[in-house]
Structure 1
């Protein structure tokens, strides 16, 4: 069975969005996969910094 998904929305500066699109295309990665990786990395970083405090 496929994992249930939800949509995430947000706004970014135009130059950051364009750089993200270019990087995803160059790396042959979907924007969804890149966003999932970025969010997981961010969560891990935040959880690690909370444990250190």
Structure 2
């Protein structure tokens, strides 16, 4: 069974986008996979911050 997906959009500085593209290519990781990991990490960080309050 295929997981349902949704598109996420946003704007970031040009230099950050270029660095992201280069890092993904160098690591042979898709940008989608890297973004998914980054969002998961960010959510964990927010949960930890909320638990500390």
Unaligned runs of 5+ in 2: none
Query: How far has the Cα of 1:16 moved from its partner?
Result: 0.1
In the superposition, the TM-score normalised over structure 1's length comes to 0.99
Distance 2:12 2:51 in 1: 29
Query: RMSD value over aligned CA atoms?
Result: 0.3
Secondary structure of the structure 2 residue equivalent to 1:10: coil
Secondary structure of the structure 2 residue equivalent to 1:34: helix
Q: Following TM superposition, where does structure 1 have runs of at least 4 consecutive aligned residues deviating by more than 6 angstroms?
A: none
- Equivalent pairs counted in the alignment come to 53
Unaligned runs of 5+ in 1: none
